[in-house]
A and B are shown apart, each in its own frame.
Chain A
Amino acid sequence: MAVEQENGDPGKLRPTIEEDISEEMKIKQKKYLRGEGANLEVLQDKKLKGQLAARERLFDKSAMIAARTEKWLMPTEGGYMEPEGIEKTWQIKQESIAREVDISSSKNQYDIVLPELGPYSLDYTSSGRYMALAGRKGHLAIIDVKSMDVIREIQVRETVRDVVFLHNELFFAAAQKKYTYIYNREGTELHCLKEHGPVVKLQFLKNHFLLASMNKFGQLRYQDVTTGVMIGSYRTGQGRCDVMQVNPFNGVVASGHSGGTVNMWKPTSGAPLVKMLCHQGPVMSLAFHPNGHLMATAGMDKKIKLWDLRKFEVLQQIPGHAKTMNFSQKGLLASATGSFVQILGDLNGSNKYSRYMNHSMAKGYQIQEVVFRPYEDVLGIGHSMGWSSILIPGAGEPNFDSWVANPYETTKQRREKEIRSLLDKLPPESVMLDPSKIGTLRPTWKKNKPTKLEREAELEAAVAAAKSIPLKNKTKGKNKPSKKLKKKYEAVDRAKRPFLEKQIEEENPSKKKMKTESVVDDELPKSLQRFARKKPAT
């Protein structure tokens, strides 16, 4: 008896603790589950139901294991700022941050002054280890930002408008005055992409290995960098455009135009997927949240708008100009105008973005581009007098996945990863608004019925084709002209037949269908439906 009592007590206590843990875990588990399971009650098929239920249980288990191992795999937590009392986060200056943080972090606060070669634009590799710099007046450089080594610096002696890394730090593309060039890390020019024309803005689609460019004439080009094939070349038809950004979630490229519209493109079609009027004036800049559901646009109408891309509706409007914007990995939004940088964030988890931090550059510095450095709480700012780097606590993802992007990558790992990513390369067709729809049932669209004229033309073409088939010379008895003619007629009839059948089918839909249509009478309860007067379908 005593033993049993002993057993009983912990049994009573255990559930409460377990419940706590399980609830916590369940929240974590949700992160790894891709949405809720389907409602299996709808299913009639018991076998399938059983199978799916078993499968769901497995997925649940998998997610639970993932949630449990999370604390080992993602040990570090993101940084943040904690204001005291009436202090506001945006009042905290970089200098005061520098005093608080460790030495390695404080190394990331610097200004590099390069006054000669004009406003700089930047790009980071996906691991955040390397940075490509492009000075307007022909200065190209690759810098290892971890050690602050300049890996290569070249002067191309012509206007450079944009620079972008390809899949790793070994290659980068620079949009120069006339053409776009691809250089390797050593500064050797590898390719000159003449088809792109004078490119204004470059973007690289990492998963598809596509280089997207927007040139001076508003033409959007996609080029596969592995094979060199031009995948698509489309006219936006809305004039010059220097606002272009790729949605990291689905690879859709968005371009902002002077008409206040934002167009979203995919490589395989010339018509924009989505065309939305975002601003009254020209669109100044564009940025996508890494999760792909949030887009920020800034227009000349002095508005910054946050859009929900699932519903294509405005979530929030913030007054202000922004010449350049960028989302960090954790969802902070940096916007810059003139020499003033503002960081917005949804601090309390709601989708309302509010001011998080401010930073103003020295007088006369004209900011060209702001880019968050991946996996670091660092914001890179390219401006007219060089570039700077400031600390934004809580901007970067604290834990990196070395299979995705590894800041400490060795050469061997890089090579491995290159091969792997090449093997995993996605075809350009897979760029679509909702990539999770891949593999699902093909959406049913209404059949575009050919017009009468088209149909007639088709029929005529078929008849002509049938007539033009040369007849073989047959043996003596079977080669009479009358027989030949007969054969020809038969061939024509055969060609016509499917068209005529189709026509007949359209004109007289089968009686069954008519019946089923006429029977439908929703207002009556089912038991009484049979008494309803049956009207023939109109």
Chain B
Amino acid sequence: MADTKRKNRDTNTKMARKSKTPRSSDKKVMKMGGDKRKKSGPHLPNAMKREIELLNPKIGSDDEIDSDEEFAGKDVYEYEEEIPEEESKKNKRYDPVENFEFELPKDFKDENVDSDEVDSDDFDDTAQNLGDDGEEDDDGRHARMLQEITGLPSDAFGGKKLKNNIVVSEAYPENEYNPSGDVLDGNGHISIQDLLDPLRGKSGFSKLQKNVDRIETKQMSIHAPLRNTDRKKLERKAAYEQSKKYITKWEPLIKRNREAPTIFFDEKTDLNFSTVGAIASEFEPRTEFEKQMAALVNNSEVAEAHRKDGARLLELNKVTEEDVKDHQDRLAKMRTLLFRHEMKAKRIKKIKSKTYHRLMKKDRLKAEAHQIETDPEAAKKLAMKQEYERIQERATQKHNNNNKWAKRILERGLAVQDDGTRAAISEQLHRKALLTRKMNSVRDDSNSDDSSDSDADDDVSGGSDQEGKLKMLERAKQKTLKVLEDDEIPNSGLLSLPFMARGLEKKKAAAEEEAKLALQEYEASIKQPEDTDNLETGTSVGRRVFGAPKQQIQDSSEKIRSNNYYGNTDSEDDYETKEDVDVRHAKKSYVRKDVTVNPSVLRDKSQIGHDDLFKSFDEIVKDPGTKTTYDVALFANNSWQKKQNQPRNTEQMKSKTEVDANGKDSLEVMEPALDEQEEAENDSDIEGTIRMVDGILSAVDDSNYELPSQAELIRRAFAGDDVEEEFEKDKEEILNEENPEPEKPMLLPGWGQWTHVQKKRGLPSWMLTEHANAKKKREEALKKRKDAHLKNVIISEKVDKKAEKLHTKTLPYPYTSQEVFEQSIRNPIGPDFNPATAVGPIICPPVVKRPGLIIKPIKVEEMKSYERAVEQKQGGNTRNAKKRKQKS
């Protein structure tokens, strides 16, 4: 590559020598070529470039060749976009140029970033060099002229010249983008000389010229830009410094927190209500019901009664006899109803007729199907179930004729089988198909539901068909009016009961209210569309038709639901009527609420009755239980006492007088003799008394106690004889037990003996070494024993497995040294072992925080280190200052 380029350049130079075309145009073209190359993307192949260069011959000078090395160096980084040297200030030559660039448009910067810029620059140099000859004369003249006029050295015009520099620079980009006619023609080069020419004669020109000269003469080597990795390294370094600086401000805070044995999160913040009582005290009744309750609770009469002995409470709570009777009657009726219901259920359950049950099942399925249609919840559930079954089927492939039975049948051939089997097989396959069929998943279902719902909504509220809406409104209005008109109370059954009737009335009242509200709304909405202009084009009749049957279906389902709920109670019929009435209400949910509420009331009541009924029995049942246990306890106590007493009685019965005369006492008999020996050494002042006492004692005791047996006497006499020897033997034994001696090396009898070789050689060496090693080990173990240096002491080294649990198995985590750990636990920390004032900090947990307190993220305290130091000093000073103040 480099070679080709060199060649290329050589040709260029030759060409330059030959041809004497205007330099400026030449140069310009070259620049353009550079630009082209730079513009990333597809490059011209080298051959093509050469061609172009041949077409546009350039002028090169001899010094051009010198810069070959540079070129080569540059070439390596040809495709790296680097900071141009002018920018990175690597090249002094470009200093003035940088100034120019300050005012250039932004995109101009790209032009200078040239991979081959050296190439073009070289041409620049050459161009300048060539232009020097004529230029220098002018410059010198001008300078001289200036000197003559002003009488100052030419350096004095430096400042001015600099200014002019900037002014001059503006011409450059203009040249670039508004090239001269030559350039446009394709044969023009613009040299610096060309640029300088128009300035000739202006102030500061000579200085500029000088600078240009200097740059040209003093060629400095251009440093290669830093490699990408190095640059990035530097960047990282700088970033690291920066972040380090940032992080260091956290350091003291973190350090303090780390070192603190306990971190307190501020206790001062007031958490809101801490107790139920506090919350309750803040309660204010808002709804009607709450207000009523509050009125009752805070009733002054009741409160006063409470405050007094409470006797008046009874008065306030007076119930009339009739009420009680009523209540009782009601309960009785309820019970009978329940009972009948129960009986009926029992009877139904007992029915064995298949047809009956089939019919029942059919009914139930129907109801379910309806429910699915109406109730999104149920539908969802069903969909879930189906989905699950499908997944299971897909996973297990249970009905895929995979099982043994199916395989066997298939093996034999289906044709051979009887009809039943075939049917079974086909049934199975059908089942599989059913199960694995991709269902409209839950989501789909719900979506479709939603859409249908929204459709229905559209009918009502959507602005698409105003007419339908109006009609709907009208219908709704009529219905509500109808509801308002008819208010029948059923005459028989559960609902005819007074409390039910009352409930119904109440509900009705509420419903009426609601209906009225709805009516108003309807009217308002009817009026509205009348007022506004209608732009409706067409209404879909089908939709409207669809809406109506749906409503009907819903109604019927409602009926069925209620039926199912109540089973076959007597009140069934009444409820249906009631349902009919209710269903006509616009609000579905309201109806449902009624249906669910009523039974709960019913059951509660019945339960109360039940409780009353069985309470007495409960008591009867309970009481004997406690009694019996009590009896048992008594019995147990007695027996225990008896047991206790028994031995004691027997003991008392025994009551013999026994005087012990055994070896223990005989020992005392021996003492006097010993004492007498001892007396000689004893101090003189006690001597007499002891002797006297002993004398008497021996006289007294002799009569009381028997002499021990001869053997005993002998044993005692020689008891202390060989004590030490015995002990040594003992110690030996124990040592052998705890550190057993190694087994002696032995050969099996007859093993290897027939050759007489083994006998001669003795035991194999490995056996001997093993034995020696074992022995050495034992010696070491014995030396390590605690009692190794204590001749008369044996300290057992047996492991007490029961006590093992009192020790830790391993060092707990942060500790590395056993000694430190053991020292750290030497001090007890409980309140029994420390003064009350000192216990607190000792057992303080590492984090103290009240429940419910939110821990905020840590914040840097903006305090500089010197400030802190100052503050610390001041803290000490202020304390002193305070004292001083007090004194003075």
**Which A residues form the contact surface with B (CB < 8 A)?**
3-4, 6-7, 33-40, 42-45, 47-48, 50-52, 54-55, 58-59, 61-62, 65-66, 69, 136-138, 157-159, 161, 177, 188-190, 192, 200, 216, 240, 242, 258-261, 266, 268-269, 271-282, 299-302, 312-313, 319-321, 323, 337-340, 358, 360-366, 403, 428-430, 432, 436-443, 445-446, 451
Contact = CB atoms under 8 A, between A and B. Distances in A.
Nearest to A52: B824
Given A319-B681, A321-B674, A441-B818, A436 B723 contact: no
Given A34-B826, A366-B668, 19 more contacts: A38-B819, A38-B823, A48-B814, A157-B656, A157-B658, A159-B659, A268-B803, A271-B796, A276-B794, A280-B720, A281-B720, A300-B719, A312-B787, A319-B681, A339-B689, A364-B697, A432-B803, A440-B821, A441-B818
B796 A300 contact: no
Contacts of B792: 276-278
A364 B694 CA distance: 6
Interface string B781-794: 10000010010111
A329 B120 CA distance: 109
A224 to B, nearest CB: 14
A272 B796 contact: yes
Interface stretch (B7-15, B52-60, B647-655): B647-655
A295 to B, nearest CB: 12
B685 to A, nearest CB: 8
Contact of B807 (A242, A271, A442): A442
22 contacts: A35-B823, A36-B823, A47-B814, A159-B660, A192-B647, A200-B664, A259-B726, A260-B727, A266-B800, A268-B802, A276-B790, A313-B790, A320-B678, A337-B671, A338-B693, A339-B693, A363-B692, A363-B693, A364-B700, A439-B806, A440-B822, A445-B797
B403 interface: no
B225 to A, nearest CB: 46
A59 B827 contact: yes
Contacts of B811: 441
B532 interface: no
Interface residues of B, number: 94
A277 B826 contact: no
Contacts of B655: 157
Contacts of B821: 440-441
A84 to B, nearest CB: 19
The secondary structure that dominates the B interface is: helix
Contacts of A364: 693, 696-697, 700
Contacts of A3: 884, 887-888
Nearest to A239: B715
Most chain A beta carbons < 10 A, residue from B660, B672, B790, B802: B660
Nearest to B712: A240
Contacts of B293: none
A339 B672 CA distance: 11
A432 B734 CA distance: 19
A269 B798 contact: yes
Contacts, number: 253
Interface string B680-724: 010000100110111011001100000000000001100110011
Interface stretch (B268-276, B315-323, B829-837): B829-837
A382 to B, nearest CB: 14
A223 to B, nearest CB: 17
Contacts of A300: 674, 719-720
Most chain A beta carbons < 10 A, residue from B694, B796, B798: B796
Contact of B674 (A54, A200, A302, A365): A302
B724 A277 contact: yes
Nearest to B815: A48
Interface string B238-271: 0000000000000000000011010000000000
Nearest to A282: B719
B229 interface: no
Contact of B261 (A54, A266, A361): A54
A404 B820 CA distance: 31
A99 to B, nearest CB: 20
A45 B811 CA distance: 14
Contacts of B674: 300, 302, 321
Contacts of B651: 189, 192
Contacts of B692: 363
Contacts of B743: 451
A361 B734 CA distance: 45
Contacts of A40: 820
Contacts of A443: 807
B675 interface: yes
B816 interface: yes
Contacts of A44: 816
B690 A360 contact: yes
B842 interface: yes
